[in-house]
Structure formats: structure tokens, C-alpha cells
Structure 1
Amino acid sequence: MSALVFTQPAAHSIRIANAISSIQVGQIAKKTVVRIESSIGDFGSGVIIGRKQQGDRNIYTVLTAAHVVNHADRSYQVISPVPLNSGVEKKRTTIDINSASDIKILPQVDLAVVSFESKNIFTVGTIGNSEYAEEGSPIYVAGFPLPGKASSRIALQFTGGMVSARLDDKDPQSQEDSSGYDVAYTCVTRAGMSGGPVLDAAGRIVAIHGRGDRDNKEPDSPEGSDSSIVGEKTGFNLGIPIQTFLKLQTQSRQQIGSRLDLTPLNYELSDNSATIGTRNQKFNQRLRSKSAGSKIIDITKVSIRITD
């Protein structure tokens, strides 16, 4: 059994990923996020994380939440992004998937991998490093929510916020099964966005969204299309860190054609701080060493400074 393996670059050759504008991150989401629809009409979201060529066809790998595709009595379709090679006719395409052979549910966590084939060319999302998604880090969530009261149309929604908590260190008194949901954030989400990516300020996938916290004192509910879920949303939502997926993924990076960028995220770097963000909104971040004696940069604190 092989696994996705990556190595941390030596301290003297550390690369830094640049933050990009929210508009640019939104364009990445638009090109990589898919809708996954079931035979009964409900749906969730996913993100393309790999492409391998096989003759004149391309085999794509989509990462999503397991509860989006884990119903054995249903069939599923992937509604793709607009193909890069679509020419004048720019529209999404519907692709049938085989529930038995194209869906793989990962163990112990609410994650699944979906494969589909197409002659079209789609953008592959870049996998980032969720260890840098610390409290206060700016992030975005993208997915396809169910139509609301204001509009009956289905559209990709892209919302921004920040990481509000890391739940990796479990409370010893808690008996709740987290299913891997170890990062919380303040982005607005709705039912149907489960399986969509959580993106950092460089547009890299750092988590998979799947739960919305509600005030009914019940466990956080999967954000599928189940209208029976009650309780008002609190504004806190949960995702599964992408490093959890990397540890469980049994195929190699080369097998699925994935792209990894695990470098720290900085925009302007000084001796003890970094500034990331857009022209109008900067995030000043203090830096510390990852471990004693290490010069590897770790972003830990974020404060927002609005510029003129």
C-alpha cells in the first residue's frame, strides 16, 4: 500500500506561497468545484484534486464529504465546472458515475473520493497545508447550496471568513465522534455545500466543509439536503483538515495526478511578521518557529488592518 508522501524543504530553501485577492481565489473555486447530484434530486459539492490521462480521456478525482455519496440505493452524477476547452459554448456538463466503482468511502472520517472520466479539460485544485490554518487565518468556502427563498436558481456560492477554532486536541470529557471535523470557521454555509473546499488566501485546499453548528444543543448536523434538520445555525461551521485526507489516501500523488503546495503562506515578510491579503484588507501575522531549534516558519496569529 502506498500513500501520499511529502517532505518539508530544508530551512535554507523554504518557499513562501503568496496570498492572492479574494476575486482570484473565487475564480479558482469556480473552475474546480463540482456539484454532485443524486437520483432523488438532492445534492452536495466536491472539488477536483487530480487528473490523469488515459488515451484520449481524462480521469478526474474529486474529494467530497462521504455523507454526500454514501447512499447505496441511489445513483449519482457530477455536474462539472465549465471546461477549459469548451470554446464559445461555455457551460457545465453532466457526467454519470458508477456508484460501485467510482466512489470510495474513506475509513473513520466523513470523506469520500469520486472518480469520473471526460474528454474535457478541467482545472485541478491545489492541495495546501491545513497545519497553517490556525485560529484567525482568513479562509473561504465554496459550494452549491440548495435554492433559497430569494432565488430558485442553483449557483456556486463563495463566502469568506476566518478559522475560529482548531479542535485537534479533544476534550477528555467529550464522547462525541468528530468524524474528522477538527477545524471550525465563520464562513456562511448552507445545505448543499457539504463536500465543498475550504480554501486559504492562496487558493489552496486546506479542508473539506461538511457540518454546520446549530443551537438545538444536538451534535453538529451534516450539511446535506435533509430539510428535517431543526435549529438555527450559530454561524460556526466545521471542516475536515486536508492533512487528514493525505494520511488516509492510499493512492500516490502520481496515481491521481494531484498538485501539492505545502509551503507557509506569506505576502510581505519581515523579521517577525507577515502581511497577507488584498489591496484593501491586510492581515498582519506574527511568526514563530514550528519546533525548538527549527527555522521553519509557522503562521500563528492574525489581526486585520484595513488600509486606505
Structure 2
Amino acid sequence: MKCYYLLPAALIGISAVVRSPAALALSSTEVSKIAVQITVRIESKNSPGSGVIIQREGNTYTVLTCKHVVAKADKYTIVTANGEQYPLDYSSVKKLSPGLDLAVLKFTSNRNYTVAKIGNSDTATVGIDVYVAGFPAPTAVVSRSLWRFSKGEITANATQPLDEGYALVYSNSTIEGMSGGAVLNENGELIGIHGRAETTVDDNSQRIRTGFNLGIPINTFVKQFPVSVARLAPAKAQPTTAPVADEFFTQGKLKLVEDLDYQGAIADFTQSLSRHPENAEAYYGRGLAYYHLGEIQEALADLQQAAKFCQQQGKADLCQKAQNLIGQLQL
């Protein structure tokens, strides 16, 4: 059985007040009350999605979403938390730089809508609680778009962005249509915009979701958004002098799958493990790289470590994959 990590574009969804690090974390219920007020649904015939209210100037509101949600000129409607509908003037859509999957929209209303508070996405470290909100497209069971709120944790935050600005990786459950939705920290602050699902390839060469998802850090947006930046009080970026373990882990996955650079993947996973020695995913990725190189004993050792830590961490799917491959290698 061969399992691969993939990060394709499997597209699914400010008045900035920065709280001090010492601020007490909110409960999930408290964060959800914030999330539902700042999230909007972006309706269209072909590409439904979500967005976040990030700014108000007079009666003009600005919404941040993913570029792919509004990629084509179409008839879009912005639906707010109270159910009010506002036709989108497509000429107001501002798509940010070509290499960034973000866009800003505008709508006008004399109603008072909650504006998101910006957080510091650089402090979104592995293991912290994170929340994703948005409006999934209707499914066979849920016949209309219902606002969803999902709790998970950060599993990676690359210091060097991946394709189209994506860098945050998290374990929250998401559904197509939530692209452009809010990624919030435990203080209810906006730290990213959700937009992609991570997928893998099964034994039948079918692409399936791994359960992990990706977002664009809000700091990336603040650095590029040209409107009223001075009023946004952007979060202070943390100085970085060297790549962090998360980045080595993410780059290792890319080398393993996209570049087929197994030696390079091993080197990156090793760097990641030197910083996070209990990272089950890194052991699993390095084990796969050794497997592809025919280094069976090294592969077995890493896969056994992956099975050990993922069992402790409650990652049943990864445990099953590791155990299955161990069984094959021991035949």
C-alpha cells in the first residue's frame, strides 16, 4: 500500500484590535458567537463560498475572501448573518497579487455588522486551538447551505508560504463552500482565511481528503492590502532568523510527493523531528521516503515510531496507514 501526501489546489471557504498574549482564551461557544457575526455567504450559480467582514468605512463594508471564490465575473450576492442580501458589484472586486489566493469585495448597508478583529498569525504555533467558520455548499443530506463552525488545532505554520500564499495547516473539518471563511484563534481573532483541503492518493489512485486543511495567514494579507493600512494596526511580525520545524515538515511533504526527492524529504523530516521529536506525521513521511529508496529497516523504524506517537495522539487514520505498511514490509 502506497500513501502519499499531496497539497494540490483541491479548492473547497478590520478594525484590528490585538489582544495581549496574556488575554484569557475564550470558550468555543464564545468564539462561535463572534464567528457567526463576521462571516458572510457569497452566493453564485457556479462557485458558492464564504467571506469575512474586515472593515467598515461609513456605510461601506469590505469583505475578505479567497480569489478562487470570485474568480469569474458572475452574479454574486453577499448574505450577512441576519439573512440580508446585497448584490455584489463585480467591478468592486479587488484581486490581490497573482501569487496570492485572496480578494476583497465591498457592499453598502446602513446596518451595523460586526467587523473581525485581526490577530497575529505568526503566533499560530503547532498544537494551539483554532476554529474555522463558513457556509458549505448543500450536500445530499443537508439540502441548503448552513453556517458551520469547526474546532481543530494548528498542525503546521510555514514561514515560507506554499503555493498562492497558503501556510497555515490545521485539523478542522471543512466542506466545499467554506473557502474564504474565517480561521480564528482562541481569542476570536482572525488569523487566516480558509481555502484548501489537503488530499492524498489511495490504493486505487483516487484522490481523497486527509482531514487536514490549509489557510492563508492574515499577516500575509495585512502586508499587501493597500486600503487604510494605517488604520488596521497590523499585528507585529515575529522576527525569524532560521526556518522553523513546521516549515521543514511542510517542505518535506512537498519533496516527497511533488518532487519525488526522497533524500531531500528525509533531510527535511529529520530537521523537523530534531525540533518536534514526537511528530507522528514526520516519522510517517520519512518512513515513506525510506521505503521508496528501498531502505526497509530505516522505513520500518520510522513507521513504528509513527504508529507509537499517533496512537498516543489519537490519530487513528495515520496509525492504520502506518500499521498496514509495517505489515507489508514485514512479510
TM range (shorter): 0.5 to 0.7
The partner residue of 1:233 within 209, 220, 232 is: 209
Query: Is the 8 Å Cα contact of residues 126 and 259 (structure 1) preserved in structure 2?
Result: no
Report 1:131-280 matches (<5 A): 131-169=122-160, 178-216=163-201, 231-253=207-229, 258=232
Equivalent in the alignment of 1:32: 38
Structure 1 unpaired stretches of 5+: 83-91, 171-176, 218-229, 265-299, 301-308
CA positional deviation for 1:112 = 0.5
Paired residues of 1:50 and 1:259 also in contact (CA < 8 A):
no
Counterpart-to-counterpart distance in 2, 1:22 and 1:128: 17
| 8 Å contact from structure 1 (residues 159, 188) kept in 2 | yes
Instruction: Identify the residue that residue 60 of structure 2 maps to in structure 1.
Output: 59
4+ runs deviating over 3 angstroms:
258-264
Q: Percent identity?
A: 40
SS across alignment from 1:114? strand
* Unmatched tracts of structure 2, length 5 or more: 1-13, 239-275, 277-331
Greater percentage in strand: 1
Distance 1:184 1:104, change over 3 A: same
Structure number with bigger Rg: 2
Q: With structure 1 as the length reference, what TM-score do the two structures score? A: 0.66
Higher helix share: 2
Distance 1:139 1:115 in 2: 27
Specify the code of the residue in structure 1 equivalent to 2:80: S
Residue 45 (1) aligns with residue 50 (2): yes
Q: RMSD across aligned C-alpha pairs, in angstroms?
A: 3.1
Local SS of the residue matching 1:232: strand
1:103 aligns with 93
For normalisation by structure 2, the TM-score amounts to 0.62
Residue correspondences, number: 224
User: Quick check: 1:17–1:263 contact (8 Å CA) kept in 2?
Assistant: no
Larger relative contact order, structure 1 or 2 (CA cutoff 8 Å, min sep 6)? 1
Report the Cα offset of residue 169 of structure 1: 3.9
> Which residue type is aligned with residue 57 of structure 2?
K
Q: In structure 2, what is the Cα distance between the partners aligned to 1:143 and 1:158? A: 7
Cα distance in 2 for residues equivalent to 1:15 and 1:185: 21
Question: Could you tell me which amino acid in structure 2 is paired with residue 21 of structure 1?
Answer: S
- Mark the CA change 1:187 to 1:15 in structure 2 (over 3 Å): closer, same or farther: closer
| Contact in 1 for aligned 2:219/2:234 (Cα 8 Å) | no
| Alignment partner, residue 22 of structure 1 | 28
